[in-house]
Amino acid sequence: MTDLTQLDVVELGALIAAKHVSPVEVADAFLARIDQVNAGLNAFVTLTPEAARATARAAEAEIQSGTCRGPLHGIPLGHKDLYATAGVRTTGGSRVLADNVPTEDSTVAARLAAAGTVMLGKLNTHEFAYGPTNENSMFGPTRNPWNTDRITGGSSGGSGAAVAAGLAPIASGSDTGGSIRMPAACCGLTGLKPTYGRVSRAGILPLCWSMDHAGPLARSAMDAAIFLGAVAGHDPRDAACADRPVPDYPAALTGDIRGLRIGIPRRYFFDQAQGQVVTLVDAALAELAAMGAVLVEVDIPHIEASAAAAMAIYISEATAYHDDTLDDRADLYTEQVRTFLEIGDQMLAKDYLHAQRYRTLLGTEVARIMADVDVLATPGIAHTATPLGQEMVDINGTEDAVFGAILRNTEPFDLTGQPAVVIPCGLAEDGMPASIQFAGRPFDEATILNVAHAYQQATDWHRRRPNY
Amino acid sequence: MGERKPITAETVAAVARENAGHPLEPERAAAYAEALEPILGMMEQLRALPLKDVEPAPVFTPVEGTSND
CATH code assigned at A354: 3.90.1300.10
Is there a domain that residue A23 lies in? yes
How far is the C-alpha of A196 from the C-alpha of A244, rounded, in Å?
Answer: 12
Q: How many CA atoms lie within 13 A of A198 on its CB side?
A: 30
Alpha-carbon gap: A343 to the closest alpha carbon of chain B (Å): 6
Say if residue A467's pLDDT is above 60: yes
Say if residue B69's pLDDT is above 60: no
pLDDT digits (tens, 9 = 90+) for A354-406: 999 999 999 999 999 999 999 999 999 999 999 999 999 999 999 999 999 99
- Report the residue of chain A nearest B52, measured CA to CA: A357
Do A361 and B50 make contact, defined as CB atoms within 8 angstroms? yes
A423-438 b/e (C-beta count within 10 Å ≥ 16 → b): bbbbbbebebbbbbbb
Alpha-carbon gap: A310 to the closest alpha carbon of chain B (Å): 10
- Structural domain range at position A199: 4-463
Q: Which helix (H) or strand (E) holds A446?
A: helix A445-458
Do A339 and B35 make contact, defined as CB atoms within 8 angstroms? yes
pLDDT digits (tens, 9 = 90+) for A247-284: 999 999 999 999 999 999 999 999 999 999 999 999 99
B66 and chain A: CB distance < 8 Å anywhere?
A: no
Q: What is the mean pLDDT of chain A?
A: 97
Do B56 and A359 make contact, defined as CB atoms within 8 angstroms? yes
How much is the ipTM here?
Answer: 0.90
Do A308 and B24 make contact, defined as CB atoms within 8 angstroms? no
Do B57 and A357 make contact, defined as CB atoms within 8 angstroms? yes
- Report the residue of chain A nearest B34, measured CA to CA: A343
pLDDT digits (tens, 9 = 90+) for B12-33: 999 999 988 888 999 999 999 9
How far is the C-alpha of A468 from the C-alpha of A257, rounded, in Å?
Answer: 35
Q: Are A191 and A170 in contact (CB under 8 A)?
A: no
Do A354 and B49 make contact, defined as CB atoms within 8 angstroms? yes
Q: What's the pLDDT score for residue B61?
A: 78
Of A373, A378, A393, A374, the residue nearest A435 (C-alpha): A378
Checking B5-10 for CB contacts under 8 A at 24+ apart, the result is: B6/B37, B7/A346, B7/B33, B7/B36, B7/B37, B7/B40, B8/B33, B9/B33
Q: What is the DSSP string of A97-129?
A: GTT---SS--HHHHHHHHTT-EEEEEE--SGGG
How far is the C-alpha of A160 from the C-alpha of A170, rounded, in Å?
Answer: 9
Q: What's the pLDDT score for residue B7?
A: 92
> How many CB pairs below 8 Å do chains A and B form together?
84
pTM of the model: 0.97
- Report the residue of chain B nearest A404, measured CA to CA: B39
Q: Where are the domains of chain B?
A: 9-47
pLDDT digits (tens, 9 = 90+) for A92-110: 999 999 999 999 999 999 9
Say if residue A144's pLDDT is above 90: yes
Q: Are A158 and A45 in contact (CB under 8 A)?
A: yes
B1 and chain A: CB distance < 8 Å anywhere?
A: no
Say if residue B68's pLDDT is above 90: no
Q: What's the pLDDT score for residue B59?
A: 75
Is there a domain that residue A468 lies in? no
Q: What's the pLDDT score for residue B22?
A: 87
Alpha-carbon gap: B54 to the closest alpha carbon of chain A (Å): 6
- Report the residue of chain B nearest A196, measured CA to CA: B58
Q: Which residues of B touch A353 (CB under 8 A)?
A: 56
Whether the bond between A155 and the residue before it is cis, its omega within 30 degrees of 0, is: yes
Is there a domain that residue A63 lies in? yes
pLDDT digits (tens, 9 = 90+) for A54-70: 999 999 999 999 999 99
Number of domains in chain A: 1
Q: What are the residue numbers of the active site of A?
A: 80, 155, 179
Q: What's the pLDDT score for residue A399?
A: 97
Say if residue B60's pLDDT is above 90: no
Of A436, A415, A314, A295, the residue nearest A367 (C-alpha): A415
Q: Are strands A261-265 and A375-379 parallel, antiparallel or unpaired?
A: parallel
Alpha-carbon gap: A413 to the closest alpha carbon of chain B (Å): 14
% of residues, chain A, pLDDT over 90: 99
Using left for φ > 0, alpha for ψ between -120 and 50, and beta otherwise, residue A192 falls in beta
Alpha-carbon gap: B16 to the closest alpha carbon of chain A (Å): 6
Interface test mutation site (partner B, options A343, A400, A403, max chain B beta carbons within 10 A): A343
Q: What's the pLDDT score for residue B5?
A: 87
Average confidence (pLDDT) over A139-155: 98
Q: Are A109 and A85 in contact (CB under 8 A)?
A: yes
Interface test mutation site (partner A, options B4, B19, B40, B46, max chain A beta carbons within 10 A): B46
CA distance readout (Å), A405 to A84, A217, A383, A401, A410: 31, 21, 8, 6, 10
Interface test mutation site (partner B, options A316, A340, A357, A408, max chain B beta carbons within 10 A): A357
Q: Which residues of B touch A313 (CB under 8 A)?
A: none
**pLDDT band with cut points at 50, 70 and 90 for residue A41:** very high
Q: Which residues of B touch A363 (CB under 8 A)?
A: 57
Of A72, A66, A39, A252, the residue nearest A139 (C-alpha): A39
**pLDDT band with cut points at 50, 70 and 90 for residue A301:** very high
Residues shown for chain B: 69
Reduced to 3 states (helix: H, G, I; strand: E, B; else coil), residue A351 is helix
B59 and chain A: CB distance < 8 Å anywhere?
A: no
Which of B21, B42, B57 minimises the CB distance to A359?
B57
Amino acid at A340: F
% of residues, chain A, pLDDT over 70: 100
Q: Which of A76-85, A427-436, B59-68 is predicted with the least confidence, judged by mean pLDDT? A: B59-68
Beta bridge partners of A451: none
Sign of CA dihedral A74, A76, A79, A85: positive
Is there a domain that residue A270 lies in? yes
Q: What's the pLDDT score for residue A269?
A: 98
Say if residue B67's pLDDT is above 70: no
Alpha-carbon gap: B2 to the closest alpha carbon of chain A (Å): 15
